[in-house]
C-alpha cells in the first residue's frame, strides 16, 4: 500500500504519518510506501520497514503532483491548506492553495487514471455559517461566512463530482475544531481554543479572544487521526451519493473548557488566561455552528471523544510521554 | 443605468433584453445603456432610446470582460452557461464555461471596484440531488448529482464570498425548469419538458423520455424574467447572509402537464407525444427535486405562476402575438 500525504509537515500530517507507521497497515494492506510532501520537506521519520519519500513541493504549481500521481498511490490524504484567518486576510492565497491546488490534484488523479484511489480531504466546520438551525446535520446547506469555508465547500463539491464520475474515490471529512493541539499557536481563527488550555497547563499565559459563553464543536487530535485512518477503509458505495461527512465532535462552551482547565490545572492555571476580545476572531469563530446530529458519521463507524475531561487528560498524558 | 448581459443571445437573454427595453428602467433608474455579449454577437434590437453595444466574445478567455467592466455597468446579468446534458458530456467544457468564466467575471468586478454593482447569476434546481427530504428549502444542502449542478453550486459559493467581502453585490436565482420555452429543443436534459407541449401544440411530434409520474418544478418564461428584473431592485442587506434564492416554481407531474395539453390541444395534440425512455435524461432530471418551500423567495417579493393551465395559455397567447 502506497500512501501519499499533502501538508505532511503540518500537525495532522506528522501525527498521521507516525500513526500509519506504528500500525503498518491501511485497510488490511501492508503499508509499503509513504510519500510525504509539503512546502518544506517533511522530516523523515525513522523507519526501515517502509519506503519513505519526503519532498518539498509547491502544490499550487500546475501539474506539480503529476509525476507522483503517475506512481499510483492507493490512498491520498490531502491535508495541505491555508488556515482560516490567513485565507480571510488574503483571498488570492486562499483560492490558490485551498481551491486551485485541490482542483489540480483531482485533475492529476483523473489524468493518471486513479479511479480506485481513495482521496481523503480534510474539510471543516467552517463550511457552515450564517442563519443556521439550532442543530445541524449533513443535509444542512453550506452557507459559509468566511473565504476558508467557501474554498473548502467548493473543494467538497468538486471531489464529489469527480467521485460520482468515477475519476477518483473521494471522501471528505469535516473536522470539528481540534483541541488540544500541541505545539505553538497558528494563524487559524480557532487557534485560541487550544492555547487557552495548552499554555496555562505548561505554565504560560494565554489570551481568550471570544466570550466564554461561545460554544465550540471540538474533537481531540487522536480521534481525528482515527477518523482519517477509518476513512481509508470505507467502500465508496457506503459514502455515496454524497461523500462529505461531519465527524462526531463534542459541543462544549469556552466556559466549560476553562472549568476543566481549573479542575485539572488548578486556580493558578486558570489565572494565566486573560480575556481580550478580538472582534475579527469572534466574527469568524462565532459563525461556526456547535451542535450537530452526526448519526450518519457514527453509522459509518466514526467515533468521537467521550467528554472534555478525557480530551484534556489525554493531552497531558501524550505531552508527558513525548 | 448601464446593464450588461452575458449569454444575451440565448433564450432568456433575448427575452430579458426585450423586456428591459420595453420597461426602459431598472430599479427606478432610466435605462441608458445595454451591453449584450455572447459567443455570437446578439442581434441588436431596434431601439433608439438606449445606447446598445452587441459583441461576440469568448468569456472563457481570461480577462475577456475586463475592459467592459472598466466601464462600470451598474447591473450584470450573468446568463452564459453550458447546459446540463452538455456539461455532463464534457467535464472540461462545463468547468471552463460554467465555473472559470464566472470566476473571471468576479475577478473582473473586483479589479474594476464594482462593489455596488448588482451581479445576478442564473443558477438551477440542478444544484440539488441525491438523498433529499420530501420538501426542500433554501437551507437544504446542495448535493448535486450532475457536473452542471456542481459547477453552479461552486459559482454560488464564490458569488456569496465575493459579496460578503464587499467586492461585488451578488444575487443568485435558482431557476426552476422553464416551461414552455419557445423555439427549438436544446441540449438541456430538461428540454423535453417544453417539447412535449410546444411541438404538439404546433402540430409536430415530440418525444417524452421520462416516466409520466415524474414531478417537475417549473416556472414560465414570463415569471422568470420578472424575477430577474426584481433581483436588480433588492438591497444587499435583504439577501444577506446568503444570497442564493430558490424561485417559487410550481410542482407538476409530467402526466398533469400532458393532461393540460389534452385539454388545451385536444386528443390529436396528445397523440403527437410518443414515449421513448432515455435513462441518461431520466437519471439527470429525476435527481432534481420537485417540492420546495419557497417562503423566503416570496418574502423577498418573487412571484410564481398560478397554475399550469395559465402557463400553457400564456405560451399560446405569446406565440400568437409574436
A188 CB burial (10 A radius; 0-12, 13-18, 19+):
buried
Separation between Cα atoms, residue B85 and residue B186, nearest integer Å: 9
Closest CA of chain A from B211, distance in Å: 22
Substitution target in B89, B99, B139 with the highest count of A β-carbons within 10 Å is: B139
Contact B131 A242 (CB under 8 A): yes
Contacts of A70 (CB under 8 A, 6+ apart): A112
pLDDT in tens, A185-211: 887 888 999 999 999 999 999 999 999
* Cα B215 to Cα B207: distance, rounded to the nearest angstrom: 17
Q: Which residues of B167-179 are buried (b: 16+ CB within 10 A; e: fewer)?
A: bbbbbbbbbbbbb
Indicate the pairing of strand A2-6 with strand A75-78.
Answer: parallel
Q: A58 near A40, Cβ under 8 Å?
A: no
Cα A288 to Cα A176: distance, rounded to the nearest angstrom: 10
Residue A286 has pLDDT above 90, yes or no: no
Taking the domain A191-217+250-293+305-321, which CATH number applies? 3.90.25.10
- CB–CB contact A150 B160 (8 Å): yes
CB distance from A111 to chain B under 8 Å? Answer: no
The pLDDT value recorded for residue A85 is 86
Residue A322 has pLDDT above 80, yes or no: no
For residue B244, the chain A residue with the least C-alpha distance is A143
Give dist(CA A82, CA A105) in Å, integer.
16
Give the mean model confidence (pLDDT) for residues A156-181.
Answer: 97
| Phi then psi dihedrals of residue B12, to 5 deg | -70, -40
Does an H or E element contain B167, and which? none
Q: What is the mean pLDDT of residues B82-105?
A: 95
B242 vs chain A: nearest CA distance in angstroms?
6
What integer pLDDT is reported at residue B288 of this predicted model?
85
Banded pLDDT at B200 (limits 50, 70, 90): very high
How large is the average pLDDT for residues A211-217? 96
Residue of chain A whose alpha carbon sits nearest to that of B95: A158
Cβ neighbour number for residue B15 with a 10 Å cutoff: 18
Contact B145 A164 (CB under 8 A): yes
CATH no. of B2-176+219-246: 3.40.50.720
Contact B130 A242 (CB under 8 A): yes
Nearest residue of B to residue A241, measured between CA atoms: B130
On whether any CB of chain A is under 8 Å from the CB of B129, the answer is: yes
For residue A256, count other CB atoms closer than 10 A to its CB. 17
* Terminal alpha carbon distance of chain A: 28
Please judge whether A138 and B140 are an interchain contact, meaning their C-beta atoms are less than 8 angstroms apart. Answer: no
pLDDT for residue B49 is more than 80: yes
**Chain B neighbors of A132, CB-CB under 8 A:** 139
Q: How far apart are the C-alpha atoms of B203 and A139, rounded to whole Å?
A: 45
Tell me which residue of A92, A161, A156, A170 sits closest to A124, measured CA to CA. Answer: A156
Chosen for mutation from A94, A143, A292 (greatest number of chain B CBs closer than 10 Å) is A143
Please pick, among A77, A148, A162, A242, the residue that the annotation labels catalytic.
Answer: A148
Residues of chain B with C-beta less than 8 angstroms from the C-beta of A241 = 129-131, 143, 145
Rounded Cα–Cα distance for residues A94 and B33 (Å): 36
Are the beta carbons of B319 and B203 closer than 8 angstroms?
Answer: no
Residues ≥6 apart with Cβ < 8 Å to A239: A171, A245, A300
CB atoms within 10 A of CB B280: 12
CB contact under 8 A, A154 and B158: yes
Q: A25-40, pLDDT tens digit by residue?
A: 999 999 999 999 999 9
User: Which residue from A119, A96, A123 is spatially nearest to A167, judged by alpha carbons?
Assistant: A119
Percent of chain B whose predicted confidence (pLDDT) is above 70? 100
Active site residues of B: 148
List the single residue in A141, A147, A150 with the smallest CB-CB distance to B140.
A141
Give yes or no for residue A150 having a pLDDT over 80.
yes
pLDDT at res. A308: 97
Q: Cell 396528445 appears where?
A: B270
Do the chains contact at A157 and B147, CB–CB below 8 Å? no
A136 contacts B141 by C-beta, under 8 angstroms? no
Mean pLDDT of A247-256: 97
Which ranges in A119-250 belong to alpha helices (H)? 147-164, 191-201, 221-231, 236-239
Band (A321; pLDDT cuts 50, 70, 90): confident
> CB within 8 A of A252, min separation 6: which ones?
A215, A216, A218, A308
Give the separation between CA A180 and CA A79, rounded to whole angstroms: 18
CB A172 within 8 A of CB A123: yes
Identify which of B140, B144, B160 has the shortest CB distance to residue A139.
B140
pLDDT digits (tens, 9 = 90+) for B158-176: 999 999 999 999 999 999 9
> Nearest residue on chain A to B241, judged by CA atoms?
A130
> Which of B87, B89, B96, B241 is the mutation pick for testing A, counting most A CBs within 10 A?
B241
* Residue of A131, A142, A150 lying closest to B241 (CB–CB): A131
The domain spans of chain A are 2-176+219-246, 191-217+250-293+305-321
- 3-state SS, residue B193: helix
CB contact under 8 A, A140 and B143: no
The pLDDT value recorded for residue A61 is 93
Q: What is the pLDDT of residues A37-80, one digit of tens each?
A: 999 999 888 888 899 999 999 999 988 999 999 999 999 999 99
| Interface residue A123 vs chain B (CB under 8 A) | no
Instruction: Kindly report the CATH number that applies to the domain delimited by B191-217+250-291+306-321.
Output: 3.90.25.10
Is the pLDDT at B37 greater than 80, yes or no? yes
**CA distances (Å), origin A192, targets A130, A213, A286, B216:** 22, 15, 13, 49
pLDDT tier at A258, thresholds 50, 70, 90: very high
CA–CA gap between residue B255 and residue A104 (Å, rounded):
45
Torsions phi, psi for B82 (to 5 deg): -90, 130
Secondary element (H or E) of residue A54: strand A51-56
Residue A53 CB-density burial (10 A; 0-12 exposed, 13-18 middle, 19+ buried): middle
Average pLDDT over residues B217-239: 97
**pLDDT number for residue B9:** 96
The DSSP H or E segment spanning B130 is: none
- The verdict on a CB contact (< 8 Å) between B141 and A144 is no
Q: What's the CA gap between A54 and A37, in Å, rounded?
A: 6
Cβ B180 vs Cβ B315: under 8 Å: yes
pLDDT for B118 beyond 90: yes
Subunit contact B158:A153, Cβ cutoff 8 A: no
In degrees, rounded to 5, the angle at the alpha carbon of residue B299 between the alpha carbons of residues B77 and B163 is 40
| Whole-number Å distance between alpha carbons of B184 and A232 | 48
Q: By CA distance, what is B130's nearest residue in A?
A: A241
Nearest Cα to Cα of residue B219 among B12, B22, B29: B12
Of A93-107, A181-195, B198-212, the range with the lowest mean pLDDT is: A181-195
| Cβ-based burial of A205 (10 A; exposed 0-12, middle 13-18, buried ≥19) | exposed
Q: Of the candidates B133, B145, B241, which has its C-beta nearest A241's C-beta?
A: B145
Q: Are A224 and A175 in contact (CB under 8 A)?
A: yes
* Cα Rg of chain B (Å, integer): 19
Q: What is the pLDDT of residue B189?
A: 83
Does the CB of B142 have a partner CB in chain A at under 8 Å? yes
A130 contacts in chain B (CB < 8 Å): 241-242
Q: Do B158 and A150 touch (CB under 8 A)?
A: yes
pLDDT of A40 reads 94
CB contact under 8 A, B138 and A141: yes
First-to-last alpha carbon distance for chain B, in angstroms, is 28
Give the model's pLDDT for residue B44.
85
Instruction: Give yes or no for residue A264 having a pLDDT over 80.
Output: yes
Which chain B residue has its CA at the smallest distance from A107's CA?
A: B92
What average pLDDT score do residues B215-231 get? 97
Amino acid at each position: 500500500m502506497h500512501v501519499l500525504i499533502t501538508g505532511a509537515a503540518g500537525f495532522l500530517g506528522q501525527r498521521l504519518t507516525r500513526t500509519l507507521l506504528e500500525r503498518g497497515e491501511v485497510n488490511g494492506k501492508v503499508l509499503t510506501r509513504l510519500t510525504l510532501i509539503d512546502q518544506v520537506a517533511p522530516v523523515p521519520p525513522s523507519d526501515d520497514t517502509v519506503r519513505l519519500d519526503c519532498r518539498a513541493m509547491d502544490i499550487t504549481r500546475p501539474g506539480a503532483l503529476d509525476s507522483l500521481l503517475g506512481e499510483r498511490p492507493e490512498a491520498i490524504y490531502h491535508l495541505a491548506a491555508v488556515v482560516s484567518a490567513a485565507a480571510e486576510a488574503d483571498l488570492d492565497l486562499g483560492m490558490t492553495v485551498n481551491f486551485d491546488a485541490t482542483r489540480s490534484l483531482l485533475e492529476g488523479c483523473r489524468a493518471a487514471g486513479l479511479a480506485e484511489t481513495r482521496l481523503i480531504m480534510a474539510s471543516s466546520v467552517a463550511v457552515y455559517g450564517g442563519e443556521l438551525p439550532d442543530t445541524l446535520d449533513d443535509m444542512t446547506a453550506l452557507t459559509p461566512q468566511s473565504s476558508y469555508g467557501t474554498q473548502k465547500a467548493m473543494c467538497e463539491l468538486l471531489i464529489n463530482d469527480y467521485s460520482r464520475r468515477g475519476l477518483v474515490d473521494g471522501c471528505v471529512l469535516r473536522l470539528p475544531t481540534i483541541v488540544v493541539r500541541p505545539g505553538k499557536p497558528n494563524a487559524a481563527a480557532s487557534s485560541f481554543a487550544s492555547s487557552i488550555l495548552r499554555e496555562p497547563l505548561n505554565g504560560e499565559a494565554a489570551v481568550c479572544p471570544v466570550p466564554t459563553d461561545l460554544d465550540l464543536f471540538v474533537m481531540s487530535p487522536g480521534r481525528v487521526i482515527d477518523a482519517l485512518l477509518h476513512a481509508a477503509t470505507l467502500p465508496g458505495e457506503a459514502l455515496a451519493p454524497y461523500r462529505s461527512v461531519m465527524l462526531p465532535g463534542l459541543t462544549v462552551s469556552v466556559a466549560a473548557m476553562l472549568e476543566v482547565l481549573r479542575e485539572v490545572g488548578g486556580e493558578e492555571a486558570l489565572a494565566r488566561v486573560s480575556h481580550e476580545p478580538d472582534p475579527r476572531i469572534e466574527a469568524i469563530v462565532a459563525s461556526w455552528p456547535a451542535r450537530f446530529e452526526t448519526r450518519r458519521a457514527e453509522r459509518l463507524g466514526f467515533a468521537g471523544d467521550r467528554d472534555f475531561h478525557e480530551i484534556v487528560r489525554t493531552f497531558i498524558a501524550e505531552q508527558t510521554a513525548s
